[in-house]
């Protein structure tokens, strides 16, 4: 990097964009100018990478979410110039950390699904894999979370305050998407995904929806001002917000429009580029292209692909269906029924009637195949794509997809053995496992530079950043007290940094010498934040009864957003915040425990939380969490898991050892044995401590201001038989926490537990996952841009 040229370019960008010099510029303005300058370093390699990839087979990742987080710091590390830029800014009197904090999170995702997509895109670039991501450029992302009197409120997430210097609007590659009631423009915005210390620059293409005619001049002149911009507003709505509330029909229609908009624009783009390179020949299409559907949101890509081949290129529909069977693969992320999308046929007909016609043809073809195989009508009804007026997206994806994968070994086994057993028996060769992973570039090298430096020193090089399996070589230091002490000193330093951040951002004071017990993830009943809350309230009452109770000073930290229409999840947030208010203001417990619910949990907050955690709380109901990736981020940063035998927890324990984690609760086989006879009231009535904390929901201890949240939560646990088995696992969780307190008291034992988790985290790199997709599903190879 030419420092003088970079300095001059930053100053030039500040003058052009904002009319200011470096001394007057705000952090956001400097971020924008610096990022624009850095784009100049990558554009040539980016263009060359696209050309190199076009000579062979490519894969495309279609996802409704990309939870990318901030770009600047990660990109500087991938370019290998972080320290140089840090020094340059220092010479200009600018703190690089302040500039990084000025960048808004690109919050174009909700949770693990979107963060996984972001990790995969990063790993593909680092592993030099020809993979392009497709998504939607939501103007406002999900939402910004605010707490008022313990309640969650939502605000628009305006992440484009300083524009988006890390993307390029490709005006020449606009396509049109046609709905039944309107036609819109899909405008591509391309973001470079920079391969770590590589010349390969991959692409994430996000589509923005715009009206073909944004302004009706005649209506405006007639004084019909609202009508004059009606089409613009209607188009903007499609890419305005991730997951609009679908409690009402209008919300469902908008969600469906979003999905069709994403897939139509993306499939048109893929096909048009194929035609420009290879002509209107589609028999060999699958040898050049593979499309991965990230969950059921983009499954309409299948009938859209068939529609384009049939309606635009005159391919026979049976042939188009057969081609599609070799192109599409499907990742299943859940066994929860509500997450396996089903759309009322009337909604699809209203938005895109031609697509419904094609789905109907696919369904009829599938039924005919099943009849030939000798399936009965009852059995066929279980498989049908259209059944009782509902289109089942997972059924469409599994029938057409040439591969169907789960995202953790336990999850895949459940799909094959129970939830999708009929499909597995029909298509056993389609099913495979691809355990999720995380990118070590962001989740260790970037967010925990202190630990990264120690690892590099101990291993003698930085090769681990592209080969995380090398962490296993750290095990030779597991009994070295000097190394373990340095390791834990870094953990304390990260806790001090988090404490400072909490004070600055949320105005909350925490003691970095306390045990940090952290549960951060999407708010859902099966993830059982409520179980954690009930445990903490019980612990509080026990301390009140026994002030001499010996436990380490503990800070329990939550981070989670509840969907705007998910009332029970909002009730859990309110309940937890009320308990925090009770505990944190009770001088009698002398600060032994504290409860913190961070506001607006997001990627940049997560980057502070994961390295500082002493305990990773992963307590979903066994069999409900497909994988989880937060558990992997904690593990990588030296944090043991306190959790159930669920999702990727199973594989974490297998890798780092049960002695280095704290597993509790019912397992899948236990739930199977008791579920027909399970009676939550028995647990409630026989355990006084459990009854005491549950009763606070209805006895006036806490006030939900007439919202009915607490009565609903009480009913879910006591009168609706506790479908997620919180009461059954309550006592077991208490014992696990006691084991944590005991282990934490022995500082060297605890240090070894933490260190062993980092040593054994190598298998959970998304680099490993993406290479497995390449070899086992997409049949593509790394392709270097020299």
Name the DSSP letter for residue 765: B
- Is 521 one of the catalytic residues? yes
Alpha helix positions (H), 166-300:
217-221, 225-228, 230-238, 249-278, 285-288
Burial of 420 (0-12, 13-18, 19+ CB in 10 A): buried
- Is 494 one of the catalytic residues? no
Nearest to 77 by CA among 494, 607, 521: 607
- Residue of 439, 629, 639, 644 marked catalytic: 629
Quote the CA–CA distance of 382 and 399 in Å, as a whole number. 12
Nearest to 404 by CA among 306, 247, 299: 299
- Residue of 522, 524, 602, 608 marked catalytic: 522
- Residue of 205, 441, 521, 608 marked catalytic: 521
For residue 215 the two structure tokens come to: 């302004």
For residue 364 the two structure tokens come to: 């009829």
- Is 333 one of the catalytic residues? yes
Quote the CA–CA distance of 183 and 170 in Å, as a whole number. 19
User: Residue for token digits 């969907």?
Assistant: 563
Inter-residue contact 710 to 698 (CB < 8 Å): yes
Quote the CA–CA distance of 234 and 228 in Å, as a whole number. 12
Inter-residue contact 472 to 759 (CB < 8 Å): yes
Beta-carbon contacts of 338 under 8 Å, excluding residues fewer than 6 positions away, are: none
User: Residue length, the chain?
Assistant: 786
Inter-residue contact 278 to 287 (CB < 8 Å): no
- Is 527 one of the catalytic residues? yes
Strand-pair category, 342-344 with 515-520: unpaired
Quote the CA–CA distance of 670 and 684 in Å, as a whole number. 19
Quote the CA–CA distance of 368 and 375 in Å, as a whole number. 10
User: Residue for token digits 């419904």?
Assistant: 356
**Rg over CA atoms, the chain:** 27
Name the DSSP letter for residue 616: E
For residue 336 the two structure tokens come to: 């929860």
CA atoms within 13 A on the CB side of 588: 11
Nearest to 635 by CA among 471, 514, 434: 471
- Residue of 205, 442, 466, 527 marked catalytic: 527
User: Residue for token digits 């989880």?
Assistant: 628
Quote the CA–CA distance of 309 and 285 in Å, as a whole number. 11
Quote the CA–CA distance of 35 and 85 in Å, as a whole number. 11
Inter-residue contact 581 to 596 (CB < 8 Å): no
For residue 139 the two structure tokens come to: 């103007």
Torsion angle of C-alpha atoms 526, 531, 532, 534, degrees rounded to 10 = 150
Q: Would you tell me how many other CB atoms lie within 10 Å of the CB of residue 717?
A: 24
Three-state SS at 138:
coil
- Residue of 274, 411, 570, 633 marked catalytic: 633
DSSP letters for 365-419: HHHHHHHHTT--HHHHHHH-SEETTEEEHHHHHHHH-S-EEESSHHHHHHIIIII
- Cα distances from 66 to residues 113, 405, 530, in angstroms, run 8, 20, 27
- Residue of 185, 205, 297, 333 marked catalytic: 333
Beta-carbon contacts of 449 under 8 Å, excluding residues fewer than 6 positions away, are: none
Burial of 194 (0-12, 13-18, 19+ CB in 10 A): buried
The sign of the CA dihedral 497, 501, 504, 508 is negative
Quote the CA–CA distance of 574 and 145 in Å, as a whole number. 13
Quote the CA–CA distance of 115 and 103 in Å, as a whole number. 18
Any idea which residues carry the catalytic annotation? 333, 521-522, 527, 629, 633
């Amino acid at each position: 990097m030419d420092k003088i040229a970079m300095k001059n370019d930053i100053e030039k960008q500040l003058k052009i964009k904002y009319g200011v010099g470096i001394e007057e510029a705000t952090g956001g303005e400097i971020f924008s100018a610096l990022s624009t300058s850095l784009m100049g370093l990558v554009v040539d390699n980016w263009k060359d990478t696209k050309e190199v990839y076009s000579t062979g087979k490519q894969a495309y990742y279609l996802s409704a979410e990309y939870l990318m987080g901030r770009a600047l710091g990660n990109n500087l590390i991938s370019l290998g110039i972080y320290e140089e830029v840090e020094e340059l800014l220092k010479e200009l009197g600018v703190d690089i950390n302040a500039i990084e904090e000025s960048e808004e999170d690109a919050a174009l995702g909700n949770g693990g699904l979107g963060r996984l997509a972001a990790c995969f895109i990063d790993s593909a670039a680092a592993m030099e894999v020809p993979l392009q991501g497709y998504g939607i450029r939501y103007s406002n992302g999900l939402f910004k979370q605010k707490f008022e009197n313990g309640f969650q409120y939502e605000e628009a997430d305006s992440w484009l305050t300083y524009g988006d210097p890390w993307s390029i609007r490709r005006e020449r590659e606009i396509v049109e998407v046609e709905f039944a009631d309107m036609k819109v423009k899909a405008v591509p915005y391309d973001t470079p995904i920079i391969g770590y210390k590589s010349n390969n620059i991959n692409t994430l293409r996000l589509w923005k929806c715009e009206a073909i005619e944004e302004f009706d001049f005649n209506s405006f002149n007639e004084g019909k001002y609202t009508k004059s911009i009606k089409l613009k507003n209607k188009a903007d709505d499609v890419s305005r917000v991730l997951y609009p509330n679908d409690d009402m029909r209008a919300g469902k229609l908008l969600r469906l429009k979003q999905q069709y908009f994403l897939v139509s624009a993306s499939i048109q783009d893929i096909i048009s580029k194929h035609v420009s390179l290879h002509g209107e020949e589609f028999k060999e299409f699958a040898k050049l292209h593979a499309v991965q559907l990230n969950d059921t949101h983009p499954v309409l890509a299948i009938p859209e692909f068939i529609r384009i081949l049939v309606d635009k290129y005159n391919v026979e529909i049976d042939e188009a269906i057969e081609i599609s069977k070799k192109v599409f693969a499907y990742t299943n992320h859940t066994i929860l029924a509500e997450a396996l999308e089903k759309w009322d046929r009337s909604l699809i007909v209203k938005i895109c009637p031609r697509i419904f016609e094609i789905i109907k043809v696919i369904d009829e073809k599938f039924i005919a195949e099943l009849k030939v195989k000798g399936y009965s009508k009852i059995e066929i009804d279980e498989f049908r794509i259209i059944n009782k007026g509902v289109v089942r997206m997972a059924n469409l994806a599994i029938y057409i997809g040439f591969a169907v994968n789960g995202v953790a070994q336990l999850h895949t086994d459940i799909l094959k053995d129970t939830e999708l057993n009929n499909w597995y028996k029909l298509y056993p060769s389609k099913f495979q496992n691809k355990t999720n992973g995380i990118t070590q570039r962001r989740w260790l090298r970037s967010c925990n530079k202190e630990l990264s430096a120690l690892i590099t020193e101990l291993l003698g090089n930085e090769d681990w950043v592209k080969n995380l399996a090398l962490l296993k070589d750290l095990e030779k230091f597991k009994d070295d007290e000097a190394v373990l002490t340095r390791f834990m000193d870094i953990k304390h330093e990260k806790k001090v940094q988090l404490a400072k951040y909490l004070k600055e951002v949320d105005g909350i004071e925490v003691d970095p010498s306390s045990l940090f017990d952290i549960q951060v993830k999407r708010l859902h009943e099966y993830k059982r934040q409520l179980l954690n809350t009930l445990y903490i309230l019980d612990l509080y009452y026990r301390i009140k009864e026994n002030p001499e109770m010996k436990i380490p000073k503990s800070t329990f930290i939550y981070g989670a957003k509840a969907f705007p229409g998910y009332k029970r999840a909002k009730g859990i947030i309110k309940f937890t915040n009320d308990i925090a208010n009770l505990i944190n203001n009770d001088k009698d417990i002398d600060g032994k425990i504290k409860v913190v619910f961070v506001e607006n949990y997001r990627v940049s907050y997560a980057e502070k939380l994961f390295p500082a955690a002493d305990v990773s709380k992963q307590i979903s109901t066994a069999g409900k969490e497909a994988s989880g990736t937060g558990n992997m981020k904690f593990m990588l940063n030296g944090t043991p898991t306190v959790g159930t035998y669920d999702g990727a927890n199973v594989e974490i324990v297998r890798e780092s050892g049960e002695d280095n984690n704290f597993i509790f609760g019912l397992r899948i086989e236990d739930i199977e044995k008791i579920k027909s006879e399970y009676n939550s009231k028995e647990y409630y009535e026989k355990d006084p401590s459990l009854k005491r904390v549950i009763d606070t929901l209805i006895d006036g201890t806490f006030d939900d201001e007439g919202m009915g949240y607490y009565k609903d939560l009480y009913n879910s646990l006591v009168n609706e038989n506790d479908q997620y088995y919180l009461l059954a696992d309550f006592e077991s969780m208490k014992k696990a926490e006691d084991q944590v307190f005991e282990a934490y008291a022995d500082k060297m034992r605890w240090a070894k537990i933490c260190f062993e988790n980092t040593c054994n985290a190598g298998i959970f790199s998304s680099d490993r996952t993406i290479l497995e997709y390449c070899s086992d599903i997409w049949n593509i190879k790394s392709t270097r841009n020299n």
